[in-house]
Every structure is written in structure tokens, then in C-alpha cells.
Structure 1
Amino acid sequence: MLPNYSDKDENEDGESNSTISLGSSLSPINNSYWLSSSGQFAFGFYKKENGFFIGIWFEKIQQKTVIWTANRDDPPLLKDVKLILTINGSLVLQSEDGQQTSLLNAPLPAFSASMLNTGNFVLYSSDSRIIWESFGVPTDTLLPGQRLLPLGQLVSNISGTNHGRGNFQLIMQPDGNLVQYPANAPIAAALAYWYSKTDTAGDNVTLNLDVNGQLYLLKNTTGIIIKNFTAQRNSSGIAFYRLTIDFDGILRLYSHSWNQSDDWVTEWASTTNRCDPIGLCGVNSYCTLMDQEPICVCSRGFDFNDQKMNNLGCKRNSITNGCMSKNGESFDLQELEAVAWEDNPYSTFPSTKAGCRDDCLRDCNCEAAVFKDQQCSKQKLPLRFGRRQEVGSGTTIIKVGFGSSDTRNASRGKDFLIGSFAVLAFALIVLAVGAILIFRSYRVWKYKKITNHGNDGLIEDVGLRSYTYDELEKATNGFTDEVGKGAFGTVFKGVLSNCGGVVAIKRLEKVVAEGEREFRNEMKSIGRTHHKNLVKLFGYCHDGTHRLLVYEYMSNGSLADFLFKSERKPSWEEKSGIALNIARGILYLHEECETQIIHCDIKPENILMDEHKCTKIADFGLAKLLMPNQTRTYTGIRGTRGYVAPEWHRNLPITVKADVYSFGVMLMEIICGRRNVDMDSPEDEVILADWVYDCFAAGELDKLVKDEEVDKNKLQRMVRIGIWCIQDEPSFRPSMKKVVLMLEGTVEIPAPPSPTSIITSIRIN
């Protein structure tokens, strides 16, 4: 794009912007940037990854927002480089050995430079004309007063932390149409995933953003606005705007109030469906929404290239050459519904679905086919630009080798049936005879159980054992070996041979007196839960007034012991693993078990650890059994002071988001290795949640993990998750499914507001 040779700018008060003279220099360590006269913008070195980049950012905003980067695809710079505006008028990078390389491609030698109050970095000639400006070569962002000229483009960043050229672009086309495309593919109408529908406007149309947040297309030859994307506001200088094509491929207009400490607010977006951008997921994978968040899923017969970065595409999990062997069994066909791909067939013909399958099966070149509108389109791999699309996408037919995880079991079954039919028939006869004998034995056993235990049949079908009080008293040696005590009762160590030896027996105290059937139903619900991060329930006792539960024994105590009492404190990797395992266990209770369970008392004392230090959640499903006056907080509240969500105190309906709040408090304790309330700490650190947010807002997270080796990116991620989880407003807290995805690092986490904010513009449900 051609530079704009304009006069030297002045600020709103008529003052000239600060001048950068020839011979001025910057280094990553000392005097690392040049400020605009207003102090709002900075040009210079900023730190990313393991080095430095040169760019422009908002200096007065806590969350550093970079709006332009020089040489964005180059490797990071080392700390021993210098940026010099030489006496010869060139802006150069100088290495430690004195070698210089030009940073900007200006047509004339510069006489001076300036970081303007508009966010534009400029070089001036000797007659005060602008000979180069950052506004003329935008990266991913457009600022007020900056135009996107015909053939101009914005290209997204790779990610929130990597400012290299990413996967999406916005182009101001010569025909007047503003269009978004995938960046790593030829420009083609079929790949446009958003456009302004102004292709009849003709040439000389520009995209404009003004200081009041109005975003519009202007026909420059007539001065007529041909399309408004947003209405004009009267911000009176108290807000600033930026238009950015984000790394997820969506074009968004953001605003920020100068007189507040809040984050950027989305004013407008090109789409609300976050799977709309073509190319969000890599080859052989497709984008689908989970809780309105985009995730990448491998097609059948494929596994992720990188389990930690699912957007990098998928590879076959078996080998097939695409041709049938003599017996026709070298591969199978898998069908995938409601997914759209790049239309790139090598053969298209009218057909039925069955005919399309058969034709692809016989064709050595056919690796996949799309059946749509009675047309069969045969394709070779890789499949690109996959997106879940319920309407008009047809059926994808994929050739999968029998060695793949999707077909391996089917293949083995088929081979077994063909090669061993006689053996199978004999086995069926044996099984039938065995089933009769087992059934007779079962009826005798069931009759005895009914005789001995009356109505216990309510929960026999879930595999729980019913014990007598005498059995458990004997197993615990008269309830003498106490290993713990909590809100629900006392826990004793015992030995039961049918449970594999040592068990933990919890004697429930002051449970709801009336409600025998309720107790049995709760046992039935708990007995149906099976997850590696939940403490296993072996059985129960309902003998007269006695209520006892028999659990697997957790030999390494509780998470509270490990965090707050153990001489060996957990490493950062252990902390990360503990948090993720607990989150997965809560997710199972909330969404994956047969009956949804709200725990109501998530805290370190209820997280137990087995011999391998694997964390498991205890006391789930018991909240309904606890009498209200047995809580440690207020009457009617179930939970523990410091962990209970604010809605308990407001007489609001209790949902799974109450557990999310408790998890957030506990996550902060895991991060910092201290209790959520510590009266021995300095005054501003007594309440852990408040201190964590203060450190986050000030960019001083190192204070939370003194003298501890941590992964700073993971620390930032976990702190953000914790703050989102403890938002006062339940609807602002993420679901546990979202928490798990965030902990796994598969989704980006927006900067959270203060937990006690009354109003916020961002939700991550």
C-alpha cells in the first residue's frame, strides 16, 4: 500500500507531537519504547515468548494490547539488539557485533520520527512530510482515522500470544466488497465466510473507523457512505475504539473507556457463530460448537497430529492404499453427517448414497466422498476447512482401514465369525447352559437377601453391598481407629475381605431422621457413579437408626494435608494435574453421570489422595442427607465458610454454578499453597481471592508463587480460570466443561473482570 504523504500531525490542543531525532535509539532493556505525547501509545520493544518484538501498543491499558508488529513472522529478537534512527535517516536494527538491517522500507531518508496520538508511527522528511507510516501497512488492527484502502488487508495473529501471520484475512476488494477469507488458501468466492454484500459499489471504496466508533464503507469519489456497520456515537473522547481480525477469524470492533480499568468491550462482530471462519481447524478435522465455543474434532479413522494443539489437524490412525484386497476386506467406509468441507472433488456424478459408497469403495483413488443433493463428489485426502453445518452439507463418506481404532473391533469380529463359526456355536451352547445355572443360583441368592435384609432391593441392582451394623463394628474394631471427621460424620479405618482389605467407613451423624426411602434413593444414585476421580462407594449400612457408608480407603489423606501440612509441597506440575483431575471429576457429577449431582461442599478436605497421589472427590451426593443446622456457616446453607457461593446467602436457586464457585476458591488455594483466609498474612493478603485479583490486575502474579518454579503461561491461565469461577453472578461463571477445556489449554481465556463487578460485558458460560 502506498504511503500517505501528509503534513506533520498535531494533537487535539494544537501541540506538535513529540519528535524523535536522528541518532535516537532503543534497547529491549533500557528505554525500550517511544511514547506519544498523550502517553496513550508506545512504539518500541515488547516481550513475547523467549524474546522481543518491535511494535505499537496501548500503554495506558493494563492488559497490553498490541496493535501493530514489525516483521511479525521473524523469530523473536534477543536482548542485545538496538533499534536506531541513524544519522543517515534509516530506522535499523543493530546486533551486538554492529551489523545493521533496515526495519522499515521508506522511500526517502528520514529527518525525524514521531509516535502520534492517533496510534500512527511515522517517519518525516526534511520538509515535514510523512514518508512512511504504520497506518499504511496494518497488521491485524485498524484504528480511528486509519483507512483500509482498495487491495488493503488485515491478517489475524496466530494466537493470543503469537503475533505472527495467522489463518484469516480481511480484504478490501477493488469491487467495493469487504470480504473475509482463510489466509493460507487461494482467494476464491467459495472460501469467503463473511462479506459486506457491496460488490456492486465499484472501485475506490475504503473501510473507515472514526473516533466515535462508527465503522463504515465510503465511496471516496462521491463521499457517500455506502454501508454502516455501526451507528455513530458521541464518545466525547472518553472511549477509544479498535477494529481487529482476531486469531479465531472473527472481525470485531472493540471499545475501551479511558477513565475506567475495565477490559475491551465488543461493540460489533462479523458473526456470532465461532465456527463460521473457514480454516479454524486443520486438515481432516472439523469445527463444532461446545457451549458456544469452537472445538476441533477428528473425522472418523483419524487422530490428532498434536493432542495438545487440536487445531493442527488430524492423521489417519491406520494404513490403507485405497484399493480392496482380493477378499475385499482391506478397509471399510465410515459416514459423517452434517459436516461441510472445501469443495475440491476430482469426480462428480449423479448417484444414490448406496451407489456413491460402492463407487468410492471400488475406486483406488477415492479416499472420501461427499453425497449431497443426489450428487456424489469423490475426493482425495486431505479434507480441508471442515465445519459442522446442519443444513445443506450432505453426508461425508470416508474410507477407513480396518487397522484403525474405529474399525479394528468390527474387523476382528468379522474375521472371527467367518473363520470360527463352529467354535462360536459351541460357545453359545455352553453359555446358554451356564446362564441357566447362574440364573437358578441367583434366584436362591436373591431369596436369601430378601430374607436377611428386607427392602434393600431398592439398590441391589447398582452393585452396592448392604452391611449390618455388627459387621462394620467388627471391621473397625469397635470404631476405634478414627481417621477423619467432617460435616457428615466420622470416618474410621476398617478391614473387609470382600472389598479387597482396608476400607474407610463413614458413620453419618444427624442425617435427616425421617426419609428412609430418600436415604436409599441417594445410595442408589451414588452407587451408579463411576469415575477415576471419584472415591468409590462399596456399600452401606441401614440398620435401625444407624447410617454408615463403606468407601475405598485413600492412603495419602486429603488435598488439605498435601497443600497445607506436608513437608514436601507439591510441584507446579503436580498442582496443574491435581486441578485438572478435580475439574474432570466435578464435570462428571454435573453432566456425565446418570443423575446430575451438585456436590455443595467442594473443598480440599473433601479431595482425597490414593497411594499414587491421584486425587478423588469424596462426599458427593450426600448434601441432601445433611440436616441444615449441621453446616459450619448459616442455617439452610450446605457447605463450608469461605467456599460457599454468594447465592446461598441471597436465597437464590442453587445450581451447579455453586460448585464452580467452590472450585475457583480451591483452585486459588492450589495455586498459592495457602488457605483462602489467613489472618496471619499482611492485611491486603488475608482474603486470598481479593489478593489474587489484585496481583492479576497489577500484573504481579509472581507474588503468588514466591520461590517456586512455575510455567508463567500456565500460572496466568490458572489464575484467570480461578477468577472467572468466583464471579458473584452465577451466570458469568463458566461451566465445568469449559473449565476442563481451559485447564487443558484448548480454549483461550478472556481477561476476567473483578469478581464483585455488578455489570460486565463478557460471559464464558
Structure 2
Amino acid sequence: MPALALLRLALLITVLVQQARLLPAAAARMNLTAGGTLKPPGYITSPSGSFAFGFRAHDSDPTKFHLATWFRFGGDDDSRPQPQSVVWFAKESTMGVTPNATVRSVLSIPADGQLTLADGSRELWRAPTTSMQRGSVLVLRDSGNVQFLSDGGNDVLWESFGYPTDTLLRGQSLKGFLFSKRADAETTATSSSACIDLFTGDILENAYWATGTNTPNGNTTITFDDQGRLSYTLYNGAVNTLISPVVSSSTASSDYFQFARMEPDGIVRTSVRPKNGGENTSWTVSGILPSEGGCKMKTARMQGMCGPGSYCVEAKERLRCLCPSGYTYIDAQHSDSGCTPAFEPQSCDGVSEISIYYRKFPAVTEQQCRDYCLSDCFCAAALMIGGSDCAKVGALAYGRQGSDVTTTALVKVRKGNTSHTERASSRMMRKIPRPYMIVVSCLASLLMITVGSLVALYNLTRNKVSQQALSSSRAQLHLIAVKRLVASNEYSEQEFTNEVQSIGQIHHRNLVRMIDYCKEDKHRMLVFEFMPGGSLRSFLFNPDVRPPWRWRAEAALAIPRGLEYLHDGCSAPVIHCDIKPDNILLDDLGVPKINSCCLALFLVLFLLV
């Protein structure tokens, strides 16, 4: 009798489990009609059930949701599919943030006939329709395209294929941008995100790869066709393939799910997965763009895929940014942000130097190269180039590891737990197990701050330069100089950010350093280290002060060192064009520094007040 009871219990449990598995399919809806609502974690499905559109729970917080479209596989939690399965998500604008819905949020087609996502009385998102027609139904096609249809269903008022985020599905065309996510589990694009733009033309200053077709007869459309080919079409009708299809025929390609995606590492990859492969089948990368990979890629401003202090390792699935031994990630969640020493940096007579300051020595041995760096307080690493030439660098930037690399990086790290005040002789050189190349370039560690952070430092209506102690998140107080810019309509916001970042990349002990900048609403401000000694002109022609000859000789060497760094210390040479005593400033120790504010090209179009 007990055995029979156990058998009945087992059968009952089996039936209940099967019913539970059928509940989502039974509850799945095919559309959203006027007057109806869709609430978290609800969704609608395509006719075949291959796609779902609705509320996807956050990976880090299941009480918050994104409005998204995703591939729907048997083993996935329909309200929380794998990040790779998500092919579209709602955004406030092309580069805007992704609205976060809560359990109170509602997607509906109210009386005005607009598709709206609201949280209580607050509107989170609205489908950007251009027609004055009223919509009546929202459907999800088997292509993965979400369409908002007019009354009667004759006209498409809005569709997700017209507003791609980071992914193209089969049959989808692009006439704009694809922006990568900051990370796989994050949906918001940031200033660090990569984008593909083959339609409006190559943004040469930011492009690390380009087709070179930004001409009047250039690109019209990027297409990911039914066979899985990624191509672009010119105005003259010529079609150029970017990634070839992995499946040879359209008949065979129908047996596969496919997508093309701008990944967080800045590489476009196409991926395939058989439809009948089962829930445990994984995606396979079928093509990449650029085909030569990304570790070698740099912009005209010498920005690479990995941040300063790190090095790049090529992989088909994803580029990896790694830290040298003795270094740690600046942001563990975003390894491409760069690396910083895990030890207290060496202090050189009270000055902490992080510039790319370098010096080359031809025809030396590796041991000599080590000794040169160890004996130089400002040296952070030494590069053995081609096995015979040595270059000292003050910071690491744009490293790459690969079988074709012939340069070895020798990185200076601290021994044990010794104090940071010890001399360089108590430090040691650590050789990276596998050689990687560090390309000498300027590096950036510039932050953007708000007007609120500067309000105590700067009088917006009266002062030209404010001298204050900026604590912010820094451990020590620093004197700063705040300069306000008046905007010009001829200059774009992106160009302003690019130029500010360019100045922020210039670090040398004989150049005035930019600390922060502000770009909020109409406010544009630059924050520099404060130079209490004033200008070289005021110092030289002060009748009450007579500079000693020793100081004059040191100043005569310091200023050319700063210029040499601008000309040769950066991979992209910088020409100052306005060297004069007024633009040489002195710090509290009398060290002359070239005013880097004059380097900003945008100052031609922004008036300094």
C-alpha cells in the first residue's frame, strides 16, 4: 500500500510539473490591443514562438525591468532570458538611457492611440510615431520586428527595426547607428560605448576602422540579409560585403537563428544557432568586423580598445583587456577602463609623475634597459624594442599581446610591502611572461563633473578664475583654476567632448594639467591645476624679484622638455602654436609649465571669459 501511494504521488507531481511548463505558453499573448495593458513580467510572442517582446527583469535587480525583445528558447526563463538573447530594448533616444520599469509600470495604447510605457503618472517611454494616425494594435513578427499598427492594421506607425540598438536581425537594414552596450548585462550606451556608422560617413577623429566611403556618392544602407550576410550599399547600387554568410543558401539559413551585433569590445560579430539544437545549444560566432580583429585598432586620437595601463589579447568571441602583474583594474566591472598600480606609486621629490615621459637608448642589453628604468624615478616601465633598443615610459598605454609582437615590456613594481618613500634601488623589474607591445601615446584619466560640484568654486556671474580647494572624491585638497566657456552654435557637443578629452590626455610635469571638465545643460567649464606663481612674463619683469641664473637655466630646459613631449611624446604630435611668456605659468615651487588650455582647438569657436 505505501508503494502504491508513492507511485500515485510521483504521477501527480509529474502531471503538475508538465502543467507548470505549459502555463507560460498558455498565458502567452500574440498582441496588445487598444484599451489593453501589458505589465511586468508579461510579454507577447511571435506566431512561431521564436521571439518574445515585453518586460525583461534586470540581472542585478529582479524588481526592475527593461522593455525588450529577445529570442525565446525552451530552457530560458521567459521574464529573464540570457543577455545574449536580447536583440532590442527601448531607449529614450539613440544615445539615451534605457527606461527602468517597475512592477507598477504599464505598457498600453490609451485613448490618444499612442503606444506608451508609464509608471504611475510618470511617462517612461513613448513609441516615436511620425504619423497623425491612431494606433490600435501591437504585434511581434516572426522576424523579431515589433510593429505598432494603425486602426485596421493597414499602416505601420512604428517598428523596432527602424530603431535598432546594438543588434541587427535577418532582413533588417540600418540607416543610422548601432551602439554597443557598456557591458553584456547593461543596456545603456555611454560615452565609452562603440558604435557602427557607415551611413552618415566616417567620424574620422573617433573611428578606429572605416570604409572610406564618406563621399556624396557614398553609403545608403547597411543590411543583414536573410542568408546572414552583412553588407552596405552605395548610392550607385554597388553592394559591398562586410561579413560573408556562413550558410550558403536561403533555404538552409532558415534552419538557423542569426544576428549581427556591435559588442561591448567594439567589434561587430555575426552569430548563428540551429533552431533544432535544443535548449542547451550555444551561439557560434560566424564572422567579425574588422576582420583583422581589434587589438591593433586605434583612433586618430590614439584611443585603443583597452584603457591605459592594460594590454589587449585577441580572441574570436571577445577581446580581453588584462592588467600586467602588479596592476589592478580601475573598474572591475568594466575591464576595458584600464589598470592602475596595485602599490603606492613612487614619489619623486614630492612630485607624483604619471605622464608618458620617455627616453630612448639604442643598442643596449635587456639588463641595461632594466637598470635605466630602475635608476629613473619617473620611469614606470621599459620597452625592449626588437631586442636591442630600449625606451623608458612613465605610464603604460595601448598594450597588445600576440604572436607577432617583438617588443617586451619590463614593468617596474614595488617589492613586498615596502614604503613608497624608498628609493628606486629598492624596487624590482618584473617581466611579463609573454611579450606584449606598449605603444607610446598620451593617456586619459579625465572625469566629467557637474555644475553642482563647481558651484562652491566658481562664481558664474562675476569671476573669471576662481581659486578654491576641490575635495570632490579625492583624498587631498588641490588648488584649481576654473575657466568658463561661452558656447558657439557652430560647435557640436561631440566635438566639445572630443577636444576636452584630448587635452585631458596630455600629462607632463612641464604642462599645466586639466583635472576635470563640466558639460551640463548650457554650462561648459574647464578645471585646471592652479598655478600660484603666475605667468613667466610677470615673474621676469617684476622689478622687485630678480630670478637667479640657476633657475633661469632650469626654466630654459623645462619649457623645451614640455614642447618635446608634445611633439614626440605622443603618437599623434601636438603643435602648440602660441608659445610666449604669457602662456608659461609657474607652480608653487617655481616650476614652469606650458599652459595646456591654449592647445584646445575648440577655443577658436568657444570664447574664454
TM-score (norm 1): 0.40
Whose RCO is larger (CA < 8 A, sep 6+)? 2
Name whichever structure is richer in helix by fraction: 1
